[in-house]
Amino acid sequence: MRRFRIRTRALVLAAAAAASLALTSCTAIPSSGPVQVGAQDLQQAEQPVQFNAAGPASGSSQEDVVRGFVLAAVSSADDYGTAREFLSPDYAKQWDPSSNVLVDDGSRPYTENDDGSGTLEISALATVDAEGFMLPVEPGANTELRFELERVGGEWRISSAPNGIILDTTTFTTIWAPHQLYFVGPGGIMVPETRWFMTRSALPTEIVSALLEGPGERMSGVLHSGFPSGTTLVMNSVPIENGRAQVDLSGNLLEAGTTAMAEIRQQLRLSLQTVQSVNGYDLSAEGTQIRSEARNDAVEPRLLNDVTDPAVLVDEQFGAIVAGQFVAAPGFATSLSDYEPSAITLNPEGDAAAILNAQGVTRVDALGVVPIDERDGLLAPMFDAFDFIWTVQASTPQTLRATTREGSVIEIAAPWLAGRAPVAVRLSPDGMRIAALVRDEQGSQVLVAGVERDAEGLPVRTTDEADVHLWTSGAPVDLDWVGQTRFAVLSKADSTSRVTIGGIGLISAEQGAVQGGVQLAGGSARSQLRVLSSKGDLYASQGSGWQRAVTGIELLAKHG
């Protein structure tokens, strides 16, 4: 048995919700109609789905009280008023339901301890902290949640319990939803952070408030926000009028220059676009509307282009599979097959390749051939959005290399990889995160760190620490990003290679298996994901499984 360990930056972990949720009165999430004005008191804002659990019954046992509290804590109505009825008067004032959410599988055995306390065993899947960041929980032994009880007026009441709430996966995804909050990286690249929010009328207010607070702790040295420091919402609310969010900010907003204002507008537009029935926004400073200026392409923050067609080596030719047909790739000084590559990575534009073979990593483009890294034991190379080729030596992964076409080398510290033996290391398409697939005692895990750069995009270092964003069974085989926040992992058990989709702020999901899968390449969406088998068959995702699309493939290339 283990006790749940809370990260230093997180508030105290959650206590409790229902093992088997009985809903006495429930309304569905609306699919149409106007978004209501954001509530000024976010704690009191109502959920579209209300769980009306009963309060404590007379003569309830200790277990009944604990489980009743768990059930009632699902409802946020009246500041979790029903759940507080299960608490002693003193503790009811102390309990903080908003500090954290623990997401579990719903199986919660109860044990009555010799000292009169009770323990719920939780099979946790993920945690969501007070800022909406989700992290998966390592599979293994159950988490113990301890509840102390005392008599109040002859009835059992809880006098001590963990803060926060706990929800099974189905209930959690009914009440909460992930949203992408956009911040700005070097080069004006818009980079999303996945945050989870309760689906309620205050959602536009919460999203704008989170943008004003800036990127999360892990990415605070990587990304920035265009909003001037100290900018706040004037009324602590973002009303919706005729489908447009009314964003009225403090006078600090007027300190923003042309570039910062362009960043602010992009952040608001992209971050609010997934809010139901919000089709735009109006920006004001202390009630005075700020007019949109003419677009300035020199300062307009940009989204990355989508990667679509898989690139492959077939019959000693390199090219793309377009609508099931092979199309040779022009623009390279020499044939890529001449290098007998074990891995090929294309730059975002697709007109330069980094090739790994027995001699190391080489760059090939229309201008010629440039040796990049001749060390032994290199992993598949990476391109970033600033035209650096990144290389990693499996035996010394704590020091990465980024090399320009001219041969300038930057060594980049990655202390979180010290003592590990990664199978694959991949940069996110925007170049602001780096993921590593490593073996662990139970199978495989993916760690993700941030990449800090200067204003021109020159890489400086990675963050000192990395978060584990996925655990999966089976030996690690391959890894690639699927868009800016998700990634796919190939892991092997016997002759079957399992595909698992995970990501930043997501609960991982198994996506079927490919017999003898040896390579994987992502794209901008799951539909672009491809897996290559040891027999040269290329598979595309289809529903919950995989469909063989092309045969005779020698090598599957990656982008970025």
Q: Where are the domains of the chain?
A: 62-163, 177-289, 311-559
Q: Measuring CA to CA, which residue among 433, 439, 447 is closest to residue 483?
A: 433
Per-residue pLDDT, 152: 97
Q: Count of CB atoms within 10 A of residue 36's CB?
A: 15
Per-residue pLDDT, 296: 52
Tokens standing for residue 358: 């027995």
Task: Give the three-class secondary structure for 69.
Answer: helix
CATH 3.90.1070 fits domain 62-163? no
Distance separating alpha carbons of residues 390 and 427, to the nearest angstrom: 9
Per-residue pLDDT, 305: 79
Q: Measuring CA to CA, which residue among 485, 490, 361, 473 is closest to residue 424?
A: 490
Per-residue pLDDT, 291: 83
β-bridge mates for residue 308, sequence order? none
Per-residue pLDDT, 2: 38
Look up the CATH superfamily of 311-559.
YVTN repeat-like/Quinoprotein amine dehydrogenase (2.130.10.10)
pLDDT tens digits, the chain, 560 residues: what are they?
433 333 333 333 333 333 333 333 333 333 333 333 333 333 434 455 566 778 999 999 999 999 999 989 888 888 999 999 999 999 999 999 999 999 999 989 999 999 999 999 999 999 999 999 999 999 887 899 999 999 999 999 999 999 999 899 999 999 999 999 999 999 999 999 999 999 889 999 999 999 999 999 999 999 999 999 999 999 999 999 999 999 999 999 999 999 999 999 999 999 999 998 899 999 999 999 998 764 555 467 888 877 778 899 999 999 999 888 899 998 898 899 999 999 999 999 899 999 999 999 999 999 999 999 999 999 999 999 999 999 999 999 999 999 999 999 999 999 999 999 999 999 999 999 999 999 988 899 999 999 999 999 999 999 999 999 999 999 999 999 999 999 999 999 888 899 999 999 999 999 999 999 999 999 888 888 999 999 999 999 887 789 999 999 999 999 98
Distance separating alpha carbons of residues 25 and 323, to the nearest angstrom: 50
Distance separating alpha carbons of residues 240 and 281, to the nearest angstrom: 9
